[in-house]
Amino acid sequence: ESRYNPAAIEEKWQKTWVEQGIDKTEENQDKPKFYALSMFPYPSGSLHMGHVRNYVITDVIARLKRMQGYRVLHPMGWDAFGLPAENAAIKNNIPPAKWTQRNIAQMRDQLKRLGLSIDWDKELATCSPDYYKWTQWIFLQFLQAGLAYQKEAAVNWDPVDQTVLANEQVDSEGRSWRSGAKVEKKLLKQWFLKITDYAEELLQDLDQLIGWPERVKLMQANWIGKSTGAYLEFPIVGSSEKIGVFTTRPDTVYGVTYVVLAPEHPLTRQVTTPDRKAAVEAFIQEVAAESELERTAEDKPKRGIPTGGMAINPFTGAEIPIWIADYVLYEYGTGAVMGVPAHDTRDFQFAQGNNLPIQVVIVPPNNDVEMLRVTPLQEAYTEPGIMVNSGSFDGTDSVKGKQAVIEYAEKQGWGKARIQYRLRDWLISRQRYWGAPIPVVHCPNCGIVPVPEADLPVRLPEDIEFTGRGGSPLAQLSSWVNVPCPTCGTPAKRETDTMDTFIDSSWYFLRFPDATNDKLVFDSARVNDWMPVDQYVGGIEHAILHLLYSRFFTKVLRDRPKGGTEGDRNLLNFDEPFQRLLTQGMVQGLTYMNPNKADKDKWVPTSIVNADDPRDPQTGEPLKLVYATMSKSKGNGVAPEEVIAKYGVDTARMFILFKAPPEKDLEWDEADVQGQFRFLNRVWQLVTEFAQQPTVKETSIKNPKSKIEKDLRRAIHTAIQAITEDLEGEYQFNTAVSELMKLSNALADATCKDSPVYAEGIKTLILLLAPFAPHIADELWHAIANQESVHKQSWLKADPDALVADEMTLVIQINGKTRGTIQVPAQADRQMQEKLARESEPAQRYVEGKEIKKVIVVPGKLVNFAIG
């Protein structure tokens, strides 16, 4: 073959690798392990460039680690439950299972075209009964541990999809992330997982994750949202009940001028006086329609009304009014707040809007206290300072005052220290069909009864009608719902809720090491051996939920005994699932944009725009050509299969790796794709020409004699060194590809093509190329008379002797002007460099007997003579 023709070689090698088992997981315990994992895809039906980038990154790492002597686990699976399948069933009357299987088959073929070294024996799909049987088993572990419970809760109700949504599935405008419908509040009995039990550990252990981006750790910490403060109680006038509040500023307690309840708070109706009843009821209804985001938005005026009831501040004995307001959330803290308008921004706004008194109790250090008493505050003073108007605490530093006030409150029985997390328990039940059924039965005698392990999985019935109306489709199939109680045999009912798909993806990485086990969820020894994942690669959109839930599951299973019996060892023996995390950037494509239009409507696909005079087809306004994340709606995607058909997958891989560092966004640019294609062509030429020469094929020569050979050998080993460094640490694939190009140039320019050093260079180039462009590398590897796959070879180590330059270049300057250069031995010291410079031809010529007043030596760079 004389020309590089990717189509002719790529499928051939993919087949050969399968036959030779190149991608199979090695279980050889003598080798260190490496678990390389990409976030598994949702089987939407077609692969996009974002997927390609994700999996190529992981694949380069997996291939490199194999060559470096690791046994590598590099699996793939399908996050296959979820709404789209069900929506397709409603729209096109195709069963979700069938739709999903068809998509998986399609995407598996596309993936296989990418030349990824995936062990397909480990493939799993979360919608298959062999998998969800164990998802259900894990749910029962949570139930047994008291970490799964049912509770009536105000939930986000999507009126279009007719389902409950998690908070995070509702966008900032209060709309469903899937249907876009305005979300409503509805009271329903729901299943929760008690992730709050692990809040502190989930926060603390972030410190262990040194291989994670700081940004992701910060997002997790903020999501957990730990606050330290106090719980304080305010007695209600004329009642034995008290209002408990959570505050982070107990030092401001003398400045409380009112108490506010969330409208949903159970005490609201009790404290309301008869004359206020109608107004309070109306207000409660109004707030119920608002989303959490609307209620807490910074810029929005805070709305509230008095209940007519009064409370007592135990610290001052003062009677203060009890209000209700929308900015107090029922789900956070105690659902009640002590209002300190002088020192809290929201309270300040609220007090001003409602004519409530403002009482200063903290002043800046060194401030004139008297001044503050007469001048009204312009805004809340939220900084630390000195306590004033605070009884015996006057003069105390407010930071120290927090603790002092808590201690005093404890002594008096008014409250105590409290730590509060923003993290809430995880609402996991969905009133949908296409998910793992929650494996419990509701019995009139026994209550909630877990389905016995022997009866798992609770299978999804197939004779279901998908109408798109009403709640869960499962609830409508009485033959499935009605079962005898597993404990007492009384007619009972199955739970009809299915689990949030985030549950499926919270443990899939634990299944891969033992993916086909039909006796156990997994063999603990095997999982403990392979876990944690050494390198996890995926999108930043999973920075919070998926990663937090996976960490939570890992910790719960770590705490569960293996056989459910006392004294048994636990299911897992590690704390964190993902050692290192790489969040890859987006792939962007060119698209037209109308700068005058709002976010969602501003994109105009290139296909409907006249490139010579780009205008909005609707309004005629001029358009801008910009890079934006590829998406269907923008119509700016580049189809992977088209690029592969045109240039081959090796070129696509090289381009993706070369164009941007992996964490950064990548701008798709056809010219750069062609650049990589040309580069692979040059490599092809170089190697095939070499292979045709009948001359030296000897590839080890440690000490070449000629300078030309020495220089070439240095270039070769510099490439090994630089690429190895780029691939360790931070995964700088882009600079690694640049180094490959440099090496190929050095070889092309070499004037010693019959030397063993040149043979070493050709061999090195192919080996270093192997993780990046695996097909062409194997083809060329065989072209230079090797029998075994390049992917079974060892990664190279740079020879330190070869790296040492034996000469260096010095610039000779006279009075700051460059007059020539000289070569000096690399080990020449400063003095020697000056001596050789003095003796050099340019120095001799320009100094010409004049007096040298001063010599400046920049070692290894230049020598300057100042002459008079």
Helices (H), 356-495: 369-374, 398-412, 478-481
Residue 39: which of ligand ANZ, Zn ion, none does it interact with, CB under 5 to 8 A by kind? Answer: none
- Report the candidate in 166, 168, 224, 195 with the shortest Cα–Cα distance to residue 499: 166
Q: What type of residue sits at position 839? A: E
Residue 252: which of ligand ANZ, Zn ion, none does it interact with, CB under 5 to 8 A by kind? Answer: ligand ANZ
Strand 447-450 to strand 440-443: parallel, antiparallel, or no bridges (unpaired)?
antiparallel
Within 64-178, strands assigned E span 71-73, 77-78, 124-125, 148-158, 163-165
For residue 590, CA distances in Å to 276, 608, 667 come to: 60, 13, 8
Residue 476: which of ligand ANZ, Zn ion, none does it interact with, CB under 5 to 8 A by kind? Answer: none
Element (H, E) at 15: helix 6-20
> What span, in angstroms and rounded, lies between the C-alpha atoms of 655 and 828?
43
The least distance separating Zn ion from the CB of residue 644, rounded to whole angstroms, comes to 58
Residue 483: which of ligand ANZ, Zn ion, none does it interact with, CB under 5 to 8 A by kind? Answer: none
Residue 494: which of Zn ion, ligand ANZ, none does it interact with, CB under 5 to 8 A by kind? Answer: none
> What span, in angstroms and rounded, lies between the C-alpha atoms of 120 and 98?
21
Residue 487: which of ligand ANZ, Zn ion, none does it interact with, CB under 5 to 8 A by kind? Answer: Zn ion
> What span, in angstroms and rounded, lies between the C-alpha atoms of 584 and 578?
16
SS3 per-residue string spanning 499-563: ECHHHHCCCHHHHHHHCCCCCCCCCHHHHHHHCCECEEEEEHHHCCHHHHHHHHHHHHHHHCECC
Residue 420: which of ligand ANZ, Zn ion, none does it interact with, CB under 5 to 8 A by kind? Answer: ligand ANZ
The least distance separating ligand ANZ from the CB of residue 220, rounded to whole angstroms, comes to 16
337 binds ligand ANZ (CB under 6 A): yes
The least distance separating ligand ANZ from the CB of residue 310, rounded to whole angstroms, comes to 19
Residue 488: which of Zn ion, ligand ANZ, none does it interact with, CB under 5 to 8 A by kind? Answer: Zn ion
Count of alpha carbons within 13 angstroms of residue 623, beta-carbon side: 27
> What span, in angstroms and rounded, lies between the C-alpha atoms of 17 and 116?
10
Query: Residue 370 in contact with residue 376, Cβ under 8 Å?
Result: no
The least distance separating ligand ANZ from the CB of residue 219, rounded to whole angstroms, comes to 16
Which of 247, 268, 506, 813 forms a contact with ligand ANZ (CB under 6 A)? 247
Residue 328: which of ligand ANZ, Zn ion, none does it interact with, CB under 5 to 8 A by kind? Answer: ligand ANZ
Count of alpha carbons within 13 angstroms of residue 435, beta-carbon side: 27
227 binds ligand ANZ (CB under 6 A): yes
| Token pair in block for residue 345 | 């921004």
Which of 220, 252, 501, 524 forms a contact with ligand ANZ (CB under 6 A)? 252
Helix axes 214-224, 545-559, angle to 10 degrees: 70
The least distance separating ligand ANZ from the CB of residue 332, rounded to whole angstroms, comes to 4
Which of 344, 497, 504, 650 forms a contact with ligand ANZ (CB under 6 A)? 344
The least distance separating Zn ion from the CB of residue 559, rounded to whole angstroms, comes to 29
Which of 16, 44, 239, 248 forms a contact with ligand ANZ (CB under 6 A)? 248
The least distance separating ligand ANZ from the CB of residue 340, rounded to whole angstroms, comes to 4
Among residues 487 and 745, whose Cβ is nearest to Zn ion?
487
Q: How many residues bind ligand ANZ (CB under 6 A)?
A: 18
Q: What type of residue sits at position 373? A: R
The least distance separating Zn ion from the CB of residue 452, rounded to whole angstroms, comes to 12
Among residues 106 and 227, whose Cβ is nearest to ligand ANZ?
227
249 binds ligand ANZ (CB under 6 A): yes
From 47-55, 330-338, 584-592, 637-645, give the range in contact with ligand ANZ by CB under 6 A. 330-338
Residue 246: which of Zn ion, ligand ANZ, none does it interact with, CB under 5 to 8 A by kind? Answer: ligand ANZ
351 binds ligand ANZ (CB under 6 A): no
Among residues 261 and 743, whose Cβ is nearest to ligand ANZ?
261
| Residue 763 assigned ligand-binding role | no
103 binds ligand ANZ (CB under 6 A): no
The least distance separating Zn ion from the CB of residue 458, rounded to whole angstroms, comes to 17
Strand 124-125 to strand 148-158: parallel, antiparallel, or no bridges (unpaired)?
unpaired
Among residues 104 and 338, whose Cβ is nearest to ligand ANZ?
338
Residue 676: which of ligand ANZ, Zn ion, none does it interact with, CB under 5 to 8 A by kind? Answer: none
Among residues 106 and 487, whose Cβ is nearest to Zn ion?
487
Residues 6+ positions from 122 with CB-CB distance below 8 Å: 25, 73, 75, 76, 77, 512, 515
| Token pair in block for residue 464 | 């279901």
Among residues 335 and 439, whose Cβ is nearest to ligand ANZ?
335
Residues in a beta bridge with 38? 537
Tally Cβ neighbours within 10 Å of residue 804. Answer: 12
335 binds ligand ANZ (CB under 6 A): yes
From 74-82, 326-334, 569-577, 582-590, give the range in contact with ligand ANZ by CB under 6 A. 326-334
Q: Report the sign of the C-alpha dihedral through residues 506, 512, 516, 521, in that order.
A: negative
328 binds ligand ANZ (CB under 6 A): yes
Cα 215 versus chain centre, distance: 9
> What is the arrangement of strands in the sheet containing 258-261, beginning at the earlier edge strand?
304-312, 319-325, 258-261, 336-339
333 binds ligand ANZ (CB under 6 A): yes
The least distance separating ligand ANZ from the CB of residue 390, rounded to whole angstroms, comes to 13
265 binds ligand ANZ (CB under 6 A): no
246 binds ligand ANZ (CB under 6 A): yes
| Token pair in block for residue 273 | 């006086």
The least distance separating ligand ANZ from the CB of residue 254, rounded to whole angstroms, comes to 11
> What is the arrangement of strands in the sheet containing 426-427, beginning at the earlier edge strand?
163-165, 148-158, 184-193, 426-427
420 binds ligand ANZ (CB under 6 A): yes
The least distance separating ligand ANZ from the CB of residue 238, rounded to whole angstroms, comes to 24
From 17-25, 331-339, 367-375, 519-527, give the range in contact with ligand ANZ by CB under 6 A. 331-339
Residue 343: which of ligand ANZ, Zn ion, none does it interact with, CB under 5 to 8 A by kind? Answer: ligand ANZ
The least distance separating ligand ANZ from the CB of residue 154, rounded to whole angstroms, comes to 14
263 binds ligand ANZ (CB under 6 A): no
> What span, in angstroms and rounded, lies between the C-alpha atoms of 64 and 42?
27
Contact residues for Zn ion, defined by CB under 5 A: 443, 445-446, 485, 487-488, 490
- Report the candidate in 346, 344, 345, 258 with the shortest Cα–Cα distance to residue 306: 258
Among residues 158 and 326, whose Cβ is nearest to ligand ANZ?
326
Which of 90, 329, 520, 784 forms a contact with ligand ANZ (CB under 6 A)? 329
Residue 340: which of ligand ANZ, Zn ion, none does it interact with, CB under 5 to 8 A by kind? Answer: ligand ANZ
Dmax of the chain from CA atoms?
A: 116
From 240-248, 496-504, 537-545, 550-558, give the range in contact with ligand ANZ by CB under 6 A. 240-248
The least distance separating ligand ANZ from the CB of residue 418, rounded to whole angstroms, comes to 10
| Token pair in block for residue 630 | 């590829």
Phi, psi values for residue 148, rounded to 5°: -125, 130
Residue 337: which of ligand ANZ, Zn ion, none does it interact with, CB under 5 to 8 A by kind? Answer: ligand ANZ
Cis upstream peptide for 457 (omega within 30°): yes
> What span, in angstroms and rounded, lies between the C-alpha atoms of 94 and 90?
8
Angle (CA) 592-598-602 rounded to 5° is: 15
Please give the residue ranges that form the binding site for ligand ANZ (CB under 6 A).
Answer: 227, 246-249, 252, 327-329, 332-333, 335, 337-338, 340, 343-344, 420
| Residues of each annotated binding site for ATP | 632
| Residues of each annotated binding site | 632
